[in-house]
Structures are given as structure tokens and as C-alpha cells.
Amino acid sequence: MTASRRTVTIYLPLSLAAIVLLFPFYWMLITSLKTDRELIDLSGLPFWVFEPTLEHYQYLFAETGFLRWALNTLTISVVATAISLACSILAGYALARLRFRGAGAMAGAIFITYLVPQTLLFVPLLEIVRQLGLSNTLWSMILTYPTILIPFSTWLLMGYFRSIPRELEESALIDGASRLRAMAQIVLPLAMPGILSAGIFAFTLSWNEFIYALVFTNSTDIKTIPVGVVTELVKGDVYFWGSLMAGALLGSVPVALIYSFFVDRYVSGLTAGAVKG
Amino acid sequence: MRAEARKRPVTAGQLPTIGEVLDRQGVLAYVLLLPGLLILTAFIGWPFITSLWLSVTDQSVSTSVVRFVGLDNFSDELRSQIFLQTVRNTFVYTGVTVVFKLAFGIGLAVLMNQSFRLKNLARAALLLPWIVPTALSAIAWLWLFDATFSVFNWAIVRSGIADRGINWLGEGSWAMTSIIIANVWRGTPFFAISILAGLQTVDRELLDAAAVDGASRWQRFWRITIPLIRPVVLIVMLFSVVSTISDFQLVYVLTRGGPANSTHLLGTLAYDIAVRGGQLSEGAAVSLYMFPVLIVCVVVLLLYLRRSST
């Protein structure tokens, strides 16, 4: 292909796609830096900031619970991810390696829970959370998020465990090691890339979760970033646009950063289910 | 389990140690599965049963005595205009967005499958809409679709296309269009990346051989590439149907189901009824109407996975 033809068939459509997909983020950024006066000024060019200000960020940190929400989101995500990884490593290993009655049924059941959306169950879960006395606590999210994370992680790790040659483990078993020992010392280190993928995935999904966090909490102190930003920066009819954008941007940065460091892991995790089936 | 135990008899009078018991695969497997199964049973299995129970009673946050009402909640919904409208909305929203996400996803994947400079950077950037919290990116869309300050309206008026901007979120069909745009924006990267992974498994030699035989670029794409990536496309579409039918965040942030219920989805309607209105039973019934579609998707996927693994 000639250079000009490449421009038309690759770079032009690619630039167009990039503009469409990234424009909302650019918009978040410049909106968060505009003064309130500039925000509602329709006479100027809206695509640039002429009087940049950090006042919306100051408001976010000083006047709202944003830092608290960030801490909550981090705590919930880390603990829910740890719980999910522990459960998924054990379950994934059992399903991939051990022969037992009901193995197929168990794998099928876990796969089905993978497809259960949060909107199907949030009403009864709200009741259950209330009965357990967990309403308005971080625990309500720490304990329920793993239901979103375990099915996926187990499925992903099962694939990883299967890709590790059985012989490595069997030679350890012959040498007298127990199964648990062989798993911990031989299989787990080799499965680290898969565990990392599952962990990144689980963390991002927890960070992004919305509906459970919305219905299980109502006090400012317990909210997560997505719920806090959406519910507390709108007072009646008044939208604090600058701070809304600042909060939305800062709330997106951690997942975007993690993701950019591990983009290959992420993509391989994302597509593992679809491609390998 | 029994069979395993019989194979390795324990000498009479001598109890097996914990280590020995755990080395039996049947026992060990269930011990390892236990923590995960406990969580899934407690917070998926049990809520599901609770949901079924709620849906055949008349429970609300204010009822003290709960009555069994059979399928009344379900049949009441079928007579409710708002519910019927919501079902229509859900199907339109899901159908239209999945078609667009698929078309754009294939296009973007084919594009990304070429070799060009800064490919890794491009791939990283293009996935961003999919990985950031939807509730937060929806806020950007809320401002982009603002009746007065929408930058789209600014462009429409300034370029002279129309005298007045569009009332994006304030008018029924435009509101549906708006949430569809936001959903397609968010979901296209997932289609693109998954289909790209599928494209990368297509054997180059096959395409080259067809080219030698005189097949045009277009013929190679339709006759070789598309059939080979069909499984990936099917799985991605099913996942997308499940997550779009059960969508909540975009609508919650952008329209709350309005104007006049024109953008309510099953999830947001159930939220309004159960959480804001306190009618738990009715809300559970509305949510459960998602179930038949989910069952179909699960069955298709399971059948497909079984076939491909044998």
C-alpha cells in the first residue's frame, strides 16, 4: 500500500475512532478546570480553558466526603479482591486438576453465576443485607462483591491451571509431597500471571461497582466514589458541574493507571473466556 | 468419594490423619470449593430464592403481615402501561446497541489488526471507555447532553445546521437515542478487543492461499475471516445482551428513566418500585422478568461451550 492510501484506510478512521472514544474524557478534564462563569459562557470557544482554576478540586476535597469515599472504595476493592482470589484459586485448582464426582455440574453452576447480573438480585439482597444487620456498612459490599468476582476469576484461573503440565505436579506427588503442598509450591508460582490477571480484573470490577453500593448505603461516610460523586454533588436541581467532573476524573484515574500498566494482562484476561471458550 | 476411600483401605482401628483424608481427591475437591460455594450460595443462591418468594407475596417496607398472592405481581405488571413501556424500551435499547456495538467493534478490530505505528498506545487508549466506572463516565455524557450547555448543541447552532439545539435528555425519542449513544460508546471497545483477539487466531497462510487463488480482499474477509471468528462474535454478543438487558448505571445517571418513563429499563424500574417506593415484592417481580432472557443466553452459551470442548 502506498503511504497516502495507508493514511486514508488506517490513520484517518483510527483518528476518528480515537477522537470519539476519548472526547468525553477530554471534556471531563477541561470542564473540571473551568471557572463557573466560563462553564456557562456560551459565547466563547468551549473546547479550551481560558482561565484555568483548581477551585472545583478544592471544593471536592474540602467540602465533600471525596477522600473518605476514595478510602472506602480502596478498602472494599482490596478486601473483596483478596477474598475472591483466595476462593477462586482453590476452586479453580479443584475444577482443573482433581477428579471428583459432580465436577462438571460444579463448573457449570459457577459459570451460570457468572451471567447473573446485579440488577436481577439487588431487591432480595437488600432485604438479606438488612436482616444480617449489614445495611450501611462496608461489609455489605465486601461480602457481596465477591459474587461478581469469583465466577470470572475461577473460570480464568481454571484455564491457567489447565495450561500447566501435570507432570510437574505429579513428580512432586511421587516424591511424597501432599496435593496441597504440590499446589502451593509448584502450581501457584507458575500460575502467577493468571492470578495477576484475575486480581486486576477483580479490583477494577469492585472499584467500578455501582448498584449494590447505591442501594446498600445511605450515609455519606460509607459511600464509594461512583455513588458519592453521583449522589452528593447534585443538590436538588443544582449540579456542581466542575466538581462532578473533577470527582469523575479522579475516580477513574486509579483504574486507568492500573490498567495502563497491565494492559496485556488485562486484554488476555478479558479475551480468555471469549477466545479459548 | 466412597470409591476413593475403598481403594486405599485404612488398617482397622487406625483413623486416617487429616492429611490422608485431604489427599483423597473427592474430599479435597469439595474442601477447596467450599469457600467460594459458600459465598455464591449465600449471596446469589439465597437471594434468588428470596426473590422468588418475594415475588409471590405482597411485601413492602410498611407491611407487617405478609400475604401469599400467587402470581398476582406478575400479572399486575402485564396490565401496567409503565411496565409494558419499560419492556419495549429494554428491547429497543438492547437490540439497537448490540447491533451498533457489533458493527463498530468489527470495524475497529479489523483496523487494529493492521500494523501501524503506536499500535500499543492506540489499543490502550481505545479500551478506556470500557474500563472506567460507568457511573462516572456517564456524568461526562450528562454534561455533553445538557439541554442548554451541550457542546453538541453549540456545534449544531454555530455551524448553522439548526437554530436551536436538541433537547437531548428531555424528549422521549432523543432521550432513548442519547442513552443508546452513551452505551455504544462504552461497549464498543469490549467488542473490538475481543474480536481483535479472534482475528489474531486466524491463520495468515489461509488468507494468503486464498489470495493466490484470486480471492479479493472482500471475499477473503466474508468467506474466511468471518466464519472463523463467528464463535468469538457469538460469545461476545451473548455477554453483551446479558449486560445490556440488565443495564442500570447509564440510565440512572442520565435520565432516571424519564422523560415520562421513555427510557426506563427493567433494572431502573425495579429500583424505583422497590427502593424508592418500598414495594419490595413488586420490584422483585419486575427484576425477575429479566430471567427468561438470561436463561436463553445461559443455555446457548453452555451448549456452545460443551460442543467446543468435546
In chain A (277 residues long), the average pLDDT of successive 10-residue segments reads 76 92 96 91 85 94 95 98 97 92 89 90 94 95 96 90 87 85 88 90 94 95 96 87 95 90 72 50
Give the CA count within 13 Å in the CB-facing half-sphere of A230.
30
pLDDT for A22:
95
Q: Does B46 touch chain A (CB under 8 A)?
A: yes
Distance in Å, alpha carbon of B13 to nearest chain A alpha carbon: 23
Distance in Å, alpha carbon of B71 to nearest chain A alpha carbon: 17
B140·A154 Cβ contact <8 A: no
* Domain assignment of residue B129, given as a range: 72-309
Torsion B186-B192-B193-B198 (CA) sign: positive
Q: Does B299 touch chain A (CB under 8 A)?
A: no
pLDDT for B2:
44
Residues 6 or more apart in contact with residue A234 via CB below 8 angstroms: A240, A244
Give the pTM.
Answer: 0.91
Tens-digit pLDDT profile for residues B147-174:
888 999 999 998 888 888 899 999 989 9
- Interface mutation vs chain A, best among B130, B143, B265, most A CBs within 10 Å: B143
How many domains would you assign to chain B? Answer: 1
pLDDT for B7:
45
Q: Count other C-beta atoms under 10 Å from residue A44's C-beta.
A: 10
pLDDT for B52:
95
Q: Does B147 touch chain A (CB under 8 A)?
A: no
pLDDT for A243:
95
pLDDT for A238:
84
Distance in Å, alpha carbon of A39 to nearest chain B alpha carbon: 8
pLDDT for B304:
80
Of A125, A260, A277, the CB nearest to B231: A277
**Residue B10 falls within a domain, yes or no?**
no
Cα three-residue angle A270-A272-A277, rounded to 5 degrees: 130
Of B116, B136, B280, the CB nearest to A226: B136
**Residue B137 falls within a domain, yes or no?**
yes
**Residue B51 falls within a domain, yes or no?**
no
From the list B203, B200, B202, B180, the residue with the least C-alpha distance to B192 is B200
pLDDT for A183:
87
- Higher pLDDT pick, B253 / A170: B253
**Residue B23 falls within a domain, yes or no?**
no
pLDDT for B104:
96
A128·B1 Cβ contact <8 A: no
**Residue B59 falls within a domain, yes or no?**
no
Of A91, A93, A178, the CB nearest to B23: A178
pLDDT for B5:
43
**Residue B43 falls within a domain, yes or no?**
no
Of A111, A120, A210, the CB nearest to B249: A210
pLDDT for B1:
41
Of A14, A40, A179, the CB nearest to B23: A179
pLDDT for A16:
93
CB pairs < 8 Å spanning A and B: 298
Q: Does B103 touch chain A (CB under 8 A)?
A: no
Q: Does B297 touch chain A (CB under 8 A)?
A: yes
pLDDT for B23:
67
A122·B249 Cβ contact <8 A: no
Q: Does A227 touch chain B (CB under 8 A)?
A: yes
pLDDT for A219:
93
B301·A115 Cβ contact <8 A: yes
Q: Does A122 touch chain B (CB under 8 A)?
A: yes
Domains of chain A: 23-53 (no CATH), 64-276 (1.10.3720.10)
Q: Which residue of A has its CA nearest to B306?
A: A277
pLDDT for B110:
92
State the average pLDDT over residues B253-266.
94
Q: Are A66 and A225 in contact (CB under 8 A)?
A: yes
**Packed helices A146-163 and A66-97: angle between N→C axes, nearest 10 degrees:** 40
Q: Are B187 and B130 in contact (CB under 8 A)?
A: yes
- Higher pLDDT pick, B304 / B48: B48
pLDDT for A234:
87
- Higher pLDDT pick, B122 / A205: A205
Q: Does A149 touch chain B (CB under 8 A)?
A: no
- Higher pLDDT pick, A235 / B250: B250
Q: Which residue has the cell 508460582?
A: A189
Of A87, A120, A146, the CB nearest to B287: A120
State the average pLDDT over residues B93-99.
97
Torsion A189-A194-A200-A204 (CA) sign: negative
State the average pLDDT over residues B46-59.
94
Cα three-residue angle B168-B171-B177, rounded to 5 degrees: 55
pLDDT for A273:
53
**Residue B135 falls within a domain, yes or no?**
yes
Note the Cα B273 to chain centre separation in Å.
22
Task: Compute, in degrees rounded to 10, the torsion defined by CA atoms B231, B234, B235, B239.
Answer: 170
A255·B131 Cβ contact <8 A: yes
Residue B183 has pLDDT above 50, yes or no: yes
Residues 6 or more apart in contact with residue B149 via CB below 8 angstroms: A39, A40, A42, B143
- Measured CA to CA, the distance from residue B53 to residue B281 in angstroms comes to 8
- Measured CA to CA, the distance from residue A126 to residue B267 in angstroms comes to 14
Domain CATH number, residue B97:
1.10.3720.10
Average pLDDT along chain B: 89
Q: Does B234 touch chain A (CB under 8 A)?
A: no
Q: Which of residues 164-223 of B touch A (CB under 8 A)?
A: 185, 188-190, 193-194, 197-198, 201
B23·A267 Cβ contact <8 A: no
Q: Which residue has the cell 418500598?
A: B278
**Residue B194 falls within a domain, yes or no?**
yes
- Measured CA to CA, the distance from residue B33 to residue B51 in angstroms comes to 25
Q: Are A181 and B22 in contact (CB under 8 A)?
A: no
Q: Does B303 touch chain A (CB under 8 A)?
A: no
A106·B126 Cβ contact <8 A: no
| Percent of residues, chain B, with pLDDT higher than 90 | 59
Q: Are A229 and B138 in contact (CB under 8 A)?
A: no
Of B120, B124, B135, the CB nearest to A230: B135
Cα three-residue angle A198-A199-A203, rounded to 5 degrees: 120
